[in-house]
Amino acid sequence: MSRKYFGTDGVRGKVGEFPITPEFVMHLGYAAGKVLATSEWHLAEGERPTVLIGKDTRISGYLLESALQAGLIAAGVDVYLAGPIPTPAVAYLTRALRLQAGVVISASHNPFEDNGIKFFSATGSKLPDEVEHAIEAGMDEPIVTMSSAYLGKAKRLEDAAGRYIEFCKSSFPYELDLRGLKLVVDCAHGAAYHIAGPVFHELGADVVTIGVQPDGKNINDAFGATAPANLQKAVIEHKADLGIALDGDADRLVMVDAEGRLYDGDQLLYIVAQHRQKMGLMKGGVVGTLMTNLAFEHAMQRMQIPFARAKVGDRYVMEMLQQKGWQLGGENSGHIICLDRHSTGDGIISALQVLHALRAGNKTLAQAASDMKMYPQVLINVRIAKGNDCSSHADVQAAVTSANKALAGKGRVLLRPSGTEPLLRVMVEGEDGEKVRHWAENIAQAVRAVA
């Protein structure tokens, strides 16, 4: 069954435009509340289901939190309000407090004008498809407020940040610490602004924080994982050993070494996988995506670690991990999933897994990543007519065949339609940068000719 409102990462859009309006969000809260209230949660008689609401630092979070809260309470559901807190913190607290669901109000790495609603199940993972479908079906029904005796209640969860800080610290080995390490931590003026610094500081690091002054409108603006230039500059200025950048809801991670060099999700995932293999801790293999650098795949082959590619999106990485019974996966954008540490991707916990590998191996970030030389990768977005999947056109396929022949097994070609725009993404990567650029442009030109 196709989704009407839910995308791969909940409901998302520009604030004030459908579906991110107070009317829709209140109705969404009501529909979700009715589904939760009628589900078999093994609640004691007279006990109401309880949902945790967390948000990032966007100014629209106040509006949407109130609307969502009103809808849930109207359906007879109790609400815990956690305030600004990372997306993975909501997943953890929902599970730890034995609640029926968790809701995050965030648009992750998007600009402040956007926002979204994402649900977690009682186990701290994404809602099952059948529950999402049931909520969507409930959106077609009018809001019928419960009688006053059966309305839900709201309560602020005052210690949400402290609980999550301790959880993050528990993912780092007790016998190790971060003493003697100077870190710059960039929180993107987002949900981890009051959390990430204390985690690394309490583990012993000397911490300098940037991107920790949210004003409701500056989330992800020139700071964070999607804009690391300020972090690179700060690491050099402060003579730090490492830099850590999170995105607005703190589920994404990139890192910077002492020289200001940037390391993406593929490189960080490689460091974690290499360490786990060496320590005999690797369970199964590693899941990447269609965009994972070919050098990572070749590195896994050298280490004899099984590797599989999922569709782009951490949702699909998670699904493949669960299908295969593996624990480790991620995207080059910086989403890293360690299922033996958390039920979802978590930027802070992922950073701690990289730091674990560095401390245990007594290596710098540059040394730990040195065995994997990233292949040049060229991505060209070609505008196409809406609905015209010209990737299968004979002329385009001929260009792809010629490129693959020229790359001779030392590169690859990927054509991927955008899920949100009328674009065909042409990606070519390989060992020879000039050859990669030539063939990417050659295939893009073939696409333009038939688009």
- Sign of the Cα pseudo-torsion (171, 175, 179, 182, in order): negative
Q: Are residues 210 and 351 in the same domain?
A: no
Note whether residue 3 is domain-resident: no
CA-based end-to-end distance of the chain = 30
Q: Among 33-42, 98-107, 128-137, name the most confident range.
A: 98-107
What is the pLDDT at residue 41? Answer: 57
Confidence of residue 39 (pLDDT cuts 50, 70, 90): low
Tokens of 265: 């999700």
Note whether residue 238 is domain-resident: yes
230 lies in which domain range?
179-261
Determine contact, residues 373/413, Cβ cutoff 8 Å: no
State how far the Cα of 343 lies from the Cα of 136, in Å rounded to an integer.
24
Q: Are residues 153 and 18 in the same domain?
A: yes
What is the pLDDT at residue 422? Answer: 87
Percent of the chain with pLDDT over 90: 89
Note whether residue 2 is domain-resident: no
Confidence of residue 159 (pLDDT cuts 50, 70, 90): very high
Dihedral over alpha carbons 66, 71, 75, 79 (to 10 degrees): -30
C-alpha distances in Å from residue 148, one per residue of 35, 144, 169, 268: 19, 12, 42, 52
Kind of pairing between the strands at 423-430 and 377-383? antiparallel
Q: Is residue 302 predicted with pLDDT exceeding 60?
A: yes
Q: Are residues 228 and 286 in the same domain?
A: no
State how far the Cα of 235 lies from the Cα of 145, in Å rounded to an integer.
54
Enumerate residues 6+ apart whose C-beta is below 8 A from 83: 54, 55, 156, 157, 160
- Does 108 qualify as catalytic in the annotation? yes
What is the pLDDT at residue 40? Answer: 56
What is the pLDDT at residue 189? Answer: 98
Q: Which of 60, 106, 108, 121 is catalytic?
A: 108
Q: Are residues 220 and 276 in the same domain?
A: no
Q: Are residues 18 and 87 in the same domain?
A: yes
State how far the Cα of 425 lies from the Cα of 403, in Å rounded to an integer.
16
List the CATH number of the domain containing 322: 3.40.120.10
The total of structural domains in the chain comes to: 4
Note whether residue 174 is domain-resident: no
Q: Are residues 249 and 268 in the same domain?
A: no
Note whether residue 167 is domain-resident: no
Q: Are residues 125 and 46 in the same domain?
A: yes
72-96 mean pLDDT: 97
Q: In what order do the strands lie in the sheet with 328-330?
A: 307-310, 286-289, 328-330, 336-338
Q: Are residues 197 and 244 in the same domain?
A: yes
The secondary structure of residue 14, as a DSSP letter, is: E
Which amino acid, residue 262? L
Q: Is residue 420 predicted with pLDDT exceeding 70?
A: no
Higher-confidence position of 385 and 389: 385
List the CATH number of the domain containing 410: 3.30.310.50
Note whether residue 166 is domain-resident: no
Tokens of 173: 């080995």
- Expressed in percent and rounded to 5, the helix, strand and coil fractions of the chain are 40, 20, 40
Q: Are residues 27 and 155 in the same domain?
A: yes
Higher-confidence position of 293 and 42: 293
Confidence of residue 30 (pLDDT cuts 50, 70, 90): very high
Q: In what order do the strands lie in the sheet with 182-186?
A: 206-210, 182-186, 242-246, 253-257, 262-263
Note whether residue 145 is domain-resident: yes
Note whether residue 195 is domain-resident: yes
Q: Is residue 20 predicted with pLDDT exceeding 90?
A: yes
Q: Are residues 350 and 422 in the same domain?
A: no
Q: Is residue 1 predicted with pLDDT exceeding 60?
A: no
Q: Are residues 57 and 142 in the same domain?
A: yes
Q: What is the pLDDT of residues 224-243, one digit of tens each?
A: 999 999 999 999 999 999 99
Q: Are residues 116 and 38 in the same domain?
A: yes
